[in-house]
Amino acid sequence: MTIETNIRTGLDGAEVERIRSDFPILGRTVNGHPLVYLDSGATSQKPRQVIDVERAYYETTNSAVHRGAHTLAGEATELFEAARATVAGFVGAGEDEIVWTSNATEGINLIAYGMSNTSLGRGGAAAERFRLGAGDEIVVTELEHHANLVPWQELAFRTGATLRVIGLDDDGAIRLDEAAEVIGETTRVVAFSHVSNVLGAVNPVAELTALAHAVGALVVLDACQSAPHLPLDLHALEVDFAVFSGHKMLAPTGIGVLYGRSELLNALPPFLTGGSMITTVGLTESEFLPAPLRFEAGTQRVSQAIALAAAVDYLGAVGMDRIELWEAELGRRLVDGLTGIPGVRVLGPAAGAERVGLASFVVDGVHAHDVGQFLDDRGIAVRVGHHCAQPVHRRFGVTATTRASGYLYTTPDEIDLAVQAVADSRRFFGVV
């Protein structure tokens, strides 16, 4: 497969070919066709450099961190904490502002449950800013992934707070005029995604954060679809908390990141408790370590964190600004191609609007699962269903879509193969 070189980005055809050679899985075939992997929005593939780092840890250094005085324990702890520093630098945060989690979902639940623990008197005076009750409001948007919706529903249920929702316009953009009306003096939390996992749209972080902070509300950013694809500086964005998952950015499953401003993390009561997150334990009460360790109870995801740092190093070597440009061009190519097919509707921003290399679409008269199966027969891997975002699908009057999502290893030829397969699916199912 050749790669066009006329896309004006920091990446060129030769470099993408080199990048692809680092990913063993991209060399396989599926159903007799070369694999075309367009499901990176769900989980990315892993380069040898990341796979090798995790294997080397188990072969040479495997040990419990923060617990032993022997050489292996010391080496493992150094690698573990060096990984924290690497990831912190990648997203513009301090080392003490990065908490390891299993995934972004756990990170959001950690915030929500920590906040609800203040209603039990946990955390003392420093945690009072997190206390919610009747009359307080939590604000989300209509496009959120279930992981950034259900925990807030549950927090509202536990505390008596009210959950409010900012709607979308017909192009899938967050209605800032509505946001200015919804976010008010009783708003305590505003939670929203940086990039929609369904629409691919890059959302107005600065504007929403300014509205929240103007009334003293905390901002929680779901960065799952931005950390892998855009340069990210959390201090510059001025958000209070953020979460993202390693498996979407070249790292293994089982590792996620919670970012929180240092003073907030040290005031938030812990969610999971037990070993490793304490200073002193008595029979009736205990004292907790400062953040981030106070949120890292039990045996940690050591190899996964080290591998995430290797993934961050890989992405940094390529350049996140160059990855962003490459994917933006791929996204435009994908949307242009799909919208050029009669009977195909792309959800979200029209061609030319800012987006990552992701698009969800509907083929009139053909169920999304049938479209996905047709593409899979040609070796093209896409996602089908509601993508853990049922409300935004209802907003556009559909129950399921087919989603194609690329990454730094995706080629223009692969986009074209997918677009052609979608066009062919209409003829196959007789809806031309």
Catalytic amino acids? Answer: 388
Closest C-alpha among 251, 394, 406 to residue 314: 251
Cα dihedral 205, 208, 214, 219 sign: negative
Q: Which two tokens stand for residue 262?
A: 């240092």
d(CA 14, CA 12): 6
Closest C-alpha among 288, 242, 291, 223 to residue 262: 291
d(CA 203, CA 214): 19
Q: Are 221 and 239 in contact (CB under 8 A)?
A: yes
Quick check: helix, strand or coil at residue 194? Answer: coil
**Number of neighbours of residue 267 by Cβ within 10 angstroms:** 20
d(CA 187, CA 167): 16
**Number of neighbours of residue 29 by Cβ within 10 angstroms:** 9
Quick check: helix, strand or coil at residue 417? Answer: helix
Q: Are 322 and 316 in contact (CB under 8 A)?
A: no
d(CA 392, CA 329): 25
Q: Are 362 and 398 in contact (CB under 8 A)?
A: yes
Quick check: helix, strand or coil at residue 190? Answer: strand
Closest C-alpha among 2, 30, 12 to residue 416: 2
Q: Any idea of the CA torsion for 41, 47, 51, 52, to the nearest 10 degrees?
A: -160
d(CA 339, CA 166): 28
- Maximal CA-CA distance, the chain: 72
Q: Which two tokens stand for residue 178?
A: 């509505």
Place of tokens 């009736």: 284
CA distance from start to end of the chain: 29
Q: Which two tokens stand for residue 29?
A: 């075939």
Burial of 162 (0-12, 13-18, 19+ CB in 10 A): middle
Q: Are 200 and 207 in contact (CB under 8 A)?
A: no
